[in-house]
Structure 1
Amino acid sequence: MSRYARQMILPDVGAEGQNRLGAAHVLIVGAGALGVPALQYLVGAGVGRITLVDPDRIEETNLHRQPLYRMSDLGQPKAEVAAQSLAGLNPSVTVTPLIEWLTPANADALVAEADLVMDCADSYAVSYVLSDACYAAGKPLISASALGLEGYVGGYCGGAPSLRAVFPSPSDNIATCASAGVLGPVVGMLGCLQARMALGVLIGTAPSPLGQFIRMDGAMRFSQFRFDRAPEATGPRFLARRDLRASDLVIDLRDAVEAPQKATPDALRMPDYGLQGPLPDPGTRAVIACRSGLRAWRAAHHLATRWTGDIALLALQGETE
């Protein structure tokens, strides 16, 4: 146990806490800028098993904020390279890489096997799919997001309110790291905060990181609050392509340039759907599709102001045709 001697000195850890870490199974979704520091510190701390989900391959534009990877790794799957590298850091930790998207089709099964889930994907659809799955299963979720010089981390579910309770409405910001940029140390700090919160949940520190929200602004000022009693919010859920029904009215917000093939052969291609467009027939479910899920959420929000029927979302970035 000499490897963990410095953290076992801490009263909050000790031998009992270290044993809890060694017996824990963590699901980490995303091996990018948030996932890299989170992975390194959880593996270093001796978390027993980690399932790592990421479909992407390493690109040169990743390297300024994902220092686990090297130029020689370009083109290789992030999850596999991360697992191989982390085996050299701590061979007693088992990291199982899954080169696939996290979608409504596989989320429930992956969450069910884990003791704690970490959302490091920085994806709108992934965050809500994981939150819904964790809330239903009673599993803790540590989720973070970063953009530019700022970001936030929160501990949800597992007895605390879900991410939907804190963010019940769609964001007005359509920027991404690719369009607005991000500074490497900023997202690295948030990934470290995720690891800190995850370790706190696993060893049972009090007060629990669950129900805690931490924000870092562009001037490196931190603010935090607790949302233990936040009311749960309702809203449209993401579904998998396999869950589509023949009776659904499917609206594809992507134009023919973005997506030459529609979400379904019978889908209506209407990029401006929501405030305008045909209403579904009574008893019909409206399924609104886009690439990331954010445009679909906004369209669903507008549709709900003029129609009270069932609305679902389809994020096609991680769906196979």
Structure 2
Amino acid sequence: MADAVTRYARQMILPQIGPSGQDRLSRAHVLIVGAGGLGVPALQYLVGAGVGRITLIDGDVIEETNLHRQPIYPIASIGQPKATAAAQIMTAMNPDVHIDARPEWLDPASTPALVAGADVVLDCADSFAVSLTLSDACLAAHVPLIAGSALATSGYVAGCCGGAPSLRAIFPDLPTGGGTCATNGVMGPVVGMIGALQAQIAMAVLLNLPDSPLGRLISFDAATWRMGGFRFDRAPEPDDPLPFIGRTQITEQDLLIDLRTEAPPFHPAARHVPPEDIGQLSPPDDRRVVLACKTGLRAHHAGQALRDAWAGKIALLALPEA
């Protein structure tokens, strides 16, 4: 106990924390999805602060192009699963924090159970499918979601769910195209700032600090040196949003549509349909249509187009591992 008091002395001296707040942090469980540019700083600060238990999910491996914005990983770790490598490094930094590393992609089928067991969830994956899957699960379970995104020289953090509107309420219309770090580039310190801010907001939620960050979006643009943001406490939830499902949730009755032209069908029963032709489908009314693509963005837009022409059930499937 004496070592713990010494380790956390500089934050425990704060009246907002104190011994009772530190005890609350030590008993908290945080779910972090993504161990990349956003997840690394968030993980570092939450581990450093003494959060008792962290479940870390990431199905990706470390690549050399990651290292400028994910500085905890050494050259020797290239090719290793991010979740496993990050957990090992963080355990060495603070062995009092239990880290459950899961080197796998987030599965919509198991997401509700993961979310239900957490006090707060951090979306550090920068993936449309992951963000909306987590938002849906957190909204249903009334669990706070701290969503972050960064690209090029700007980014944002939003405190969603847990009594505040969901991410879908803030962004009811997704962009037609999704940029990535590979296509648009990214500055490491920008991602680091956003990830660190996610950790700060998570701690504020865990400590139940006044002036709740839930219902607030904070943005930063390094190109113009401006910070901004707004509150979205009264943003309406969209009606009947299209849900993401996992592969294990596919049924024999589903009509499987693969929107990708760059890969073979993801399932023996799936057939290719270009996104621009999706409105020409005429599925039986008693079958669910499952639309699949790599990130979920094409599937989302195709689902919206199909919904305009057909009133049946639609589900979306992201294939990040394909």
TM beyond 0.5: yes
Q: % of aligned pairs identical? A: 57
1:271 and 2:274 correspond: yes
Q: How does 1:239-278 map to 2 (within 5 A)?
A: 239-255=245-261, 258-260=262-264, 262-273=265-276, 276-278=279-281
Q: Over the residues paired in the alignment, what is the CA RMSD in angstroms?
A: 1.4
Instruction: Tell me what 2:283 maps to.
Output: 280
**Equivalent position amino acid for 1:231 in 2:** P
CA deviation string 1:198-249 (max 9, x = no partner): 0000000111111111111232311111111111113100011222222222
CA shift, 1:273, in A, is: 4.3
CA shift, 1:162, in A, is: 0.9
Instruction: Work out whether residues 52 and 98 of structure 2, in 8 Å CA contact, stay in contact via their aligned partners in 1.
Output: yes
SS in 1 for 2:309: coil
SS in 2 for 1:250: strand
Equivalents in 1 of 2:188, 2:233: separation in Å? 31
Instruction: Work out whether residues 43 and 86 of structure 1, in 8 Å CA contact, stay in contact via their aligned partners in 2.
Output: yes
Q: How does 1:1-12 map to 2 (within 5 A)?
A: 1-12=5-16
SS in 2 for 1:79: helix
Equivalents in 1 of 2:89, 2:129: separation in Å? 28
Range that drifts further, 80-89 or 39-48: 80-89
CA shift, 1:278, in A, is: 1.6
Structure 1: runs of 5 or more not aligned: none
Moved over 3 A (4+): 273-276
The match for 2:74 among 67, 70, 73 is: 70
CA deviation string 1:107-147 (max 9, x = no partner): 12211221111111111101111111111111111010111
Equivalents in 2 of 1:274, 1:12: separation in Å? 56
In structure 2, the CA distance between the partners of 1:135 and 1:274, relative to structure 1 (3 Å rule), is farther
1:99 and 2:103 correspond: yes
SS in 2 for 1:205: coil
Equivalents in 1 of 2:57, 2:269: separation in Å? 32
Equivalents in 1 of 2:235, 2:275: separation in Å? 33
Equivalents in 2 of 1:245, 1:76: separation in Å? 34
Count the aligned residue pairs. 316
Instruction: Work out whether residues 253 and 273 of structure 1, in 8 Å CA contact, stay in contact via their aligned partners in 2.
Output: no
CA shift, 1:313, in A, is: 0.4
CA deviation string 1:10-56 (max 9, x = no partner): 12111111111011010111110000000000011110111111111
Q: How does 1:49-64 map to 2 (within 5 A)?
A: 49-64=53-68
1:30 and 2:27 correspond: no
Instruction: Tell me what 1:303 maps to.
Output: 306
Instruction: Work out whether residues 119 and 141 of structure 1, in 8 Å CA contact, stay in contact via their aligned partners in 2.
Output: yes
CA shift, 1:318, in A, is: 4.5
In structure 2, the CA distance between the partners of 1:318 and 1:205, relative to structure 1 (3 Å rule), is farther
TM-score under structure 2 length normalisation = 0.94
Equivalents in 2 of 1:174, 1:163: separation in Å? 17
The match for 1:315 among 298, 313, 318 is: 318
Instruction: Tell me what 1:292 maps to.
Output: 295
CA deviation string 1:92-119 (max 9, x = no partner): 1111211111021221221122111111
TM-score under structure 1 length normalisation = 0.95
Structure 2: runs of 5 or more not aligned: none
CA shift, 1:174, in A, is: 2.0
1:222 and 2:192 correspond: no
Instruction: Tell me what 2:177 maps to.
Output: 173
